Amino acid sequence: MKRIKIFDTTLRDGEQSPGCSMNLSEKIEMAKQLDKLGVDIIEAGFAIASPMDHKSVQAIASAVTNCTVASLARCTKGDIDAAWDAVKEANHPRIHVFLATSNIHMEYKLKMTREEVLQRITDMVGYARSKCADIEFSAEDASRSEWDFLAQCYSNAVAAGATTLNVPDTVGYSTPQEMADLITYLRANVTGIENVDISVHCHDDLGMAVANSLACIKAGATQVECTVNGIGERAGNASLEEIVMALHTRRDFYDAETNINTRQIYRSSKLLSNITGVPIPPSKAVVGANAFAHESGIHQHGVIANAQTYEIMNSTDVGIPQNTMVLGKHSGKHALREKLASMGYEISDQEMEKVFARFKILADKKKNITTADLEALVLHRHNANYETCQLVSHVVNAGDGVPNTSCVKLKRAGEELEEVAIGSGPLDASFKAINRMLGLDIKLDSFSLNAVTDGEDAIGEAVVKIEAPNGRRYTGTGLSTDIIESSIRAYVNGINKMMETTA
């Protein structure tokens, strides 16, 4: 079987997409989960982009142990120096340099001739290689480049020391057959290609990113670039979970395997969604809430008789927990820890204290605690790290034909603050009260509420996106069986994140 390397770019190409930005601790948490998932390479960011990007690439390089950590760099010395400085402490560092090779990019964006592009590749791949043994070269917009010129670019990159050649379908324009033909052509026409990895990086503008990536694997690619939940520029990148499960489920066809621990897929997907506040669409392949649900009677009957009638994958292979009733108000810390461990969550003693405290509050309100409830508690445990302001209490008076008022009490640095406000609804009134008491001018960008489980005592998960006066956006999340409380918690969580970055 061929071994396919998984190059995850959730923290670089994924993080570039609207609404998906993450702060430093969120990136580190995601990177550790990707390491656990078993990806081969994490593209941690674009170090030159900002001091914050540099810092987070550096922090990820020190935080992960198994996988390679890459930073993106344009073909300039400044970018390459920044990338190397950020990844050099990693156990396995990589510099990923890129330069566009399509006529349209060279003429309008780079304003460079073919000769200049070829020379720049030689010089800058060589420069990067003088610092780091693991160099990836990407020809941006490769799929719209002229094939003979592209082959010369890649040949130069190999001669200058590149160890991986990446073939991006930057604008998601190609079809599976075209991508496969391109890989076949490059394998026959790039000097030295047999000694390096061939990678593909497909965008999903026409919904073909996963199909294109798989076609390239069939044609000889040995690395795929992808993101968790398919997040990324515009319509996104190829989705990691779909590629991995396609290779896993159709081993007979692809004759290829990855290092991914498929049982960590669902957890990775949930964590990302929880951090970014971007929900997983219900019918998303592999990780969507409906991916393993059978609604029609005929299907249900078939599945009961033999699961394989309508199921090509097992939900447990992806790590989806069975949503059973597991604990109640009399369960102790030990039982909770054991249950979380069986669900694959290892959490520190300090975090356990916080999760247990929230568990007890929940168990007082809800008779049966399910795996989905526990998962929500664990995924939200990091909210407790943002404690500049804490919600103490709230009282709302809401209805039709009466003024909607809210009285919110918060604690900040040991001091209790209280404010009352009138709004167009209970949430508007609560958010106004908080803004007024903290003297902040914050705009609510978006708000959503989802039930974590079914039933009248379901936990509601609120996600708010707020905009600070400087235009920066923050995502806050909150959990409670009371939807007003979860919304206020989410708002306060967003404000705490904002205060942490501006402190």
Interface with Zn ion (CB under 5 A): 13
Among 14, 93, 161, 168, binds ligand KIV (CB under 6 A): 168
The least distance separating ligand KIV from the CB of residue 3, rounded to whole angstroms, comes to: 22
Q: Residue 257 contacts by C-beta under 8 Å, 6 or more apart in sequence?
A: 1, 2, 3, 4, 247, 248, 251
Q: Write the interaction track for ligand KIV spanning residues 108-127; mark x where CB under 6 A is met and - where it is not.
A: --------------------
- According to the binding rule CB under 6 A, does residue 201 interact with ligand KIV? yes
- According to the binding rule CB under 6 A, does residue 262 interact with ligand KIV? no
308 within 8 A of 77, measured Cβ to Cβ: no
The helix or strand, by DSSP H or E, that contains position 120, with its residue range, turns out to be helix 114-129
Which residue, 430, 434, 404, is CA-closest to 417?
Answer: 434
Longest CA pairwise span in the chain (Å)? 77
28 within 8 A of 52, measured Cβ to Cβ: no
The least distance separating ligand KIV from the CB of residue 16, rounded to whole angstroms, comes to: 8
- According to the binding rule CB under 6 A, does residue 98 interact with ligand KIV? yes
Q: Which is nearer to ligand KIV, 170 or 264 (by Cβ)?
A: 170
Q: Which is nearer to ligand KIV, 8 or 373 (by Cβ)?
A: 8
DSSP-assigned beta bridge partners for residue 409: 393, 418
376 within 8 A of 452, measured Cβ to Cβ: yes
Q: Cα dist. 219→175, 212, 214, 288, 433 in Å?
A: 13, 11, 9, 29, 60
- Select from 164-172, 216-224, 298-306, 391-399 the region that touches ligand KIV (CB under 6 A): 164-172
Half-sphere exposure at residue 61, Cβ-oriented, CA atoms within 13 angstroms: 25
The least distance separating Zn ion from the CB of residue 168, rounded to whole angstroms, comes to: 6
> 133 to 162, contacts with ligand KIV by CB under 6 A?
138, 140
Among ligand KIV, Zn ion, none, the one that 229 touches (CB under a kind-dependent 5 to 8 A) is: none
- According to the binding rule CB under 6 A, does residue 170 interact with ligand KIV? yes
Among ligand KIV, Zn ion, none, the one that 140 touches (CB under a kind-dependent 5 to 8 A) is: ligand KIV
Q: Residue 61 contacts by C-beta under 8 Å, 6 or more apart in sequence?
A: 44, 69, 86, 87, 88, 89, 90, 93
The least distance separating ligand KIV from the CB of residue 73, rounded to whole angstroms, comes to: 10
Provide DSSP, 302-326.
HHHH-GGGT-SS-HHHHTPPP--EE
154: amino acid identity, one letter: Y
The least distance separating Zn ion from the CB of residue 201, rounded to whole angstroms, comes to: 6
- Select from 165-173, 244-252, 293-301, 328-336 the region that touches ligand KIV (CB under 6 A): 165-173
Q: Which is nearer to ligand KIV, 98 or 359 (by Cβ)?
A: 98
Q: Which is nearer to ligand KIV, 98 or 345 (by Cβ)?
A: 98
Size of the site for ligand KIV (CB under 6 A): 10
- Contacts to ligand KIV by CB under 6 A: 13, 72, 98, 138, 140, 166, 168, 170, 201, 203
